[in-house]
């Protein structure tokens, strides 16, 4: 797909949604490295976010922490689960601060809002304040998950999207939608243009964890799965273009 941001007709298009949640994994920030943050990759994603913000879209973000620490893996290696999950939450704060730094270097006003209070580095989560930030066109990055162990950042993204009255969740991945099996391992994998919440759960399609899918279903919140590696892909979808899968009722 060509970079749609270069075409005049695209620039004049009205975005499909006015307020959205962008959910990306921590692994998306590490580029080709096996661990940690890759600053050029963080900057590239920040530019994608800025291009959508420049359309007038209000943006929330939730970033996972798997590039630094994953609580479930720590628990599997013998660490107490609650402690491991809290460590994973702190990793998401580090990623949120990195994204904030890249966005503000591009002139985008940003707020990192943590479910775990840490006043020296970010704001505590207060719903009305977060809504006001969005209304002022600031990008809100929600960190530390829900503030509770045993819940993933997928669930946190769906919860915050519901609280912020987002019109859709954009799930940025390594592939351009939802497939019936791993397209990197199976050449005959079939991509869905549309798929229902129930089908995602019954077929275990791996879009998000079951709690997040159920919460999205209960709040009639569509989930748009797209490739974060496609230049201009995030912006393109908001104009009804590109390749993606919509999960809905």
**Three-state DSSP string of the chain:** CCCHHHCHHHHCCCCCCCEEEEEECHHHHCCCCCCCCCHHHHHHHHHHHHHHHCCCCEEEEEECCCCCCCHHHHHHCCCCHHHHHHHHHHHHHHHHHHHHHHHHHCCCCEEEEECCCCCCCCEECCHHHHHHHHHCCCEEEEECCCCCCCCCHHHHHHHHHHHCCCCEEEEEECCCCEECCCCCCCCCCCEECEEEHHHHHHCCCCCCCHHHHHHHHHCCCCEEEEECCCCCHHHHHCCCCCCCEEEEC
Quick: pLDDT tens for 91-149: 999 999 999 999 999 999 999 999 999 999 999 999 999 999 999 999 999 999 999 99
Is residue 242 pLDDT above 50, yes or no? yes
Instruction: pLDDT band for 11, please (50, 70, 90 cuts).
Output: very low
Total number of domains in the chain: 1
State the residue range of the domain holding 152. 4-248
Quick: pLDDT tens for 162-184: 999 999 999 999 899 999 988 88
Check which CATH number belongs to the domain holding 50 and give it.
3.40.1160.10
Question: pTM score > 0.85 for this model?
Answer: yes
Quick: pLDDT tens for 192-226: 999 999 999 999 998 999 999 999 999 999 999 99
Instruction: pLDDT band for 13, please (50, 70, 90 cuts).
Output: low
Quick: pLDDT tens for 66-103: 999 877 777 778 899 999 999 999 999 999 999 999 99
Instruction: pLDDT band for 191, please (50, 70, 90 cuts).
Output: very high
């Amino acid at each position: 797909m060509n970079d749609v941001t270069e075409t005049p007709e695209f620039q004049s298009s009205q975005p499909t949604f006015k307020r959205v949640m962008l959910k990306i994994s921590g692994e998306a920030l590490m580029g080709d490295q096996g661990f940690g943050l890759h600053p050029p990759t963080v900057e590239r994603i920040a530019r994608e976010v800025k291009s959508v913000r420049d359309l007038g879209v209000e943006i929330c973000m939730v970033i996972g922490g798997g590039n630094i620490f994953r609580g479930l893996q720590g628990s599997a290696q013998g660490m107490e689960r609650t402690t491991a999950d809290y460590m994973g939450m702190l990793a998401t704060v580090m990623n949120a601060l990195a994204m904030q730094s890249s966005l503000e270097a591009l002139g985008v006003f940003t707020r990192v809002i943590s479910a775990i209070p840490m006043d020296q580095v970010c704001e505590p989560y207060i719903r009305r304040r977060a809504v006001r930030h969005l209304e002022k066109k600031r990008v809100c990055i929600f960190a530390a998950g829900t503030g509770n162990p045993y819940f993933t950042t997928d669930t946190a993204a769906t919860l915050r999207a519901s609280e912020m009255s987002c019109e859709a969740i954009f799930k940025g991945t390594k592939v351009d939608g939802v497939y019936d099996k791993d397209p990197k391992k199976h050449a005959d994998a079939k991509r869905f243009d549309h798929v229902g919440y129930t089908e995602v759960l019954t077929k275990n399609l791996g879009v998000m964890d079951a709690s997040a899918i159920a919460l999205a279903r209960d709040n009639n919140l569509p989930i748009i799965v797209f490739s974060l590696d496609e230049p201009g892909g995030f912006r393109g979808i908001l104009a009804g273009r590109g390749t993606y899968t919509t999960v809905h009722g």
